[in-house]
């Protein structure tokens, strides 16, 4: 079988690693990297660390408004599909790359296989929600990570081609956490941070810091929200470590914002981020993927949003949502961690999602 895989953002690089491993044993995979994430630490390093095959096509689209970015991707992906004539196109998640890949294939009557189908936050103002809903409704195989995702699709009348596979990101975490620990334990993580960044505070200790990521447009494009978030971080009882997206860092540098209790660093590779996540006291994020990684690694999480597409992580308080208000953020982050008393049910599968996805695609083609 000949398959085109479209990726373009950090979470998609991570998810593609276990699938490529399984699929390429007997079949032909062509990888298109749209260039949606183009910073070295948000793109190239992931291919190297996770041994992901080098992309066959690098579109170099870069940043831009949604219409401009998606349109350029759509045009270029269509040209490649016409040239390569694949048996199907695989897309991951909910980015502009996802939608562009799915649209290009669907218009050319090429089957679309959507990994992470069925997720819903029910916040239609989110670009990610728009992308995932539209992609689901033009996909031929809807590869769902959880039972909730299957039920979400059923509510929308989508029942054909829906398959519960488990979460492929769980595969990746299980696969790489041992390597991460071997590389960064015994203060090697601090040395790595200092190599790539400005001076790192010496008081940072394992399990005694908050690891935060802020990247969603609803937070980063609203300066007032950004100020509220960082003001809340100042009031927390432990230091806050933030690998910050280049775009957001430029905004903060431009405005000359300085905050106490906060250490901003450049984006880090997946293996180091995995270690930082596993050894943080808590994750504070607006990211979807990091909510799950925190859950897999049994690190409590606070999500700076009013809703989440990963509602399973809310069970027993492993993850809690927070409005963007200083008092609400500080209260939620410093809550008593009763979740640590509870074991976690296997809500995200058995760590073999890549195999099940591969089987589903091949079964459909046969």
Q: State in Å, rounded, how far the first CA of the chain is from the last one.
A: 10
Distance of CA 122 to the CA centre of its chain: 18
- Whole-number Cα distances in Å, 121 to 79, 87, 307, 310: 33, 31, 6, 8
Tokens coding 100: 């562009």
Burial class of 343 by CB neighbour count within 10 A (0 to 12, 13 to 18, 19+): exposed
Q: State the Cα–Cα distance between residues 316 and 325, nearest whole angstrom.
A: 23
Burial (CB count within 10 angstroms: exposed 0-12, middle 13-18, buried 19+), residue 1: middle
Residue with tokens 């059923």: 154
d(CA 34, CA 99): 12
The burial of 301, by beta-carbon neighbours within 10 Å (0-12 exposed, 13-18 middle, 19 or more buried), is given as buried
Structure tokens that stand for 268 in this block: 């880090």
Cβ–Cβ under 8 Å, residues 90 and 5: yes
Instruction: Answer yes or no: 37 catalytic.
Output: no
Note whether 365 and 30 are within 8 A (CB): no
**Gap between the Cα atoms of 307 and 73, Å rounded:** 29
Q: Which of 109, 137, 215, 245 is catalytic?
A: 215
d(CA 240, CA 168): 29
Task: Give the CA distances from residue 334 to residues 179, 218, 331, in Å, rounded to whole numbers and listed in that order.
Answer: 31, 24, 5
Beta sheet of 301-303, edge-to-edge order? 262-265, 240-243, 210-213, 282-285, 301-303, 319-321
Distance CA 67, CA 89 (A): 21
Catalytic residues, by residue number, are 215
């Amino acid at each position: 079988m000949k398959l085109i895989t479209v990726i373009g953002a950090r979470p998609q690089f991570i998810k593609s690693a276990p699938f490529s491993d399984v699929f390429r044993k007997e079949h032909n995979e062509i990888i298109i990297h749209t260039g949606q994430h183009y910073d070295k630490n948000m793109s190239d390093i992931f291919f190297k660390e996770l041994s992901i095959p080098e992309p066959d096509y690098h579109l170099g689209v870069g940043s831009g408004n949604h219409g401009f970015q998606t349109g350029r991707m759509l045009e270029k992906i269509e040209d490649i599909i016409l040239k390569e004539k694949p048996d199907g196109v695989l897309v991951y998640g909910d980015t502009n790359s996802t939608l562009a890949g799915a649209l290009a294939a669907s218009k050319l009557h090429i089957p679309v296989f959507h990994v992470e189908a069925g997720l819903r936050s029910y916040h239609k103002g989110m670009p990610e929600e728009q992308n995932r809903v539209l992609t689901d409704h033009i996909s031929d195989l809807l590869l769902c990570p959880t039972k909730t995702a299957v039920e979400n699709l059923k509510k929308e009348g989508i029942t054909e081609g829906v398959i519960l596979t488990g979460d492929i990101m769980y595969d990746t975490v299980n696969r790489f956490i041992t390597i991460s620990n071997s590389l960064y334990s015994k203060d090697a993580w601090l040395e790595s941070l200092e190599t790539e960044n400005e001076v790192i505070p010496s008081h940072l200790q394992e399990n005694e810091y908050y690891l935060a990521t802020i990247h969603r447009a609803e937070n980063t494009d609203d300066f007032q929200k950004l100020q509220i978030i960082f003001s809340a971080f100042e009031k927390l009882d432990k230091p806050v470590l933030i690998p910050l997206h280049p775009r957001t860092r430029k905004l903060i540098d431009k405005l000359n914002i300085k905050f106490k209790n906060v250490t901003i660093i450049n984006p880090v590779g997946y293996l180091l981020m995995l270690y930082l996540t596993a050894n943080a006291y808590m994750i504070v994020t607006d990211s979807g993927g990091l909510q799950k990684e925190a859950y897999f690694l049994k690190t409590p999480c606070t999500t700076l949003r009013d809703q989440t597409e990963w509602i399973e992580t809310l069970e027993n308080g492993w993850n809690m949502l927070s409005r963007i208000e200083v008092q609400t953020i500080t209260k939620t982050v410093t809550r008593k961690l009763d979740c640590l008393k509870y074991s976690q049910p296997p809500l995200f599968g058995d760590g073999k999602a890549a195999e099940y996805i591969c089987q589903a695609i091949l079964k459909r083609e046969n």
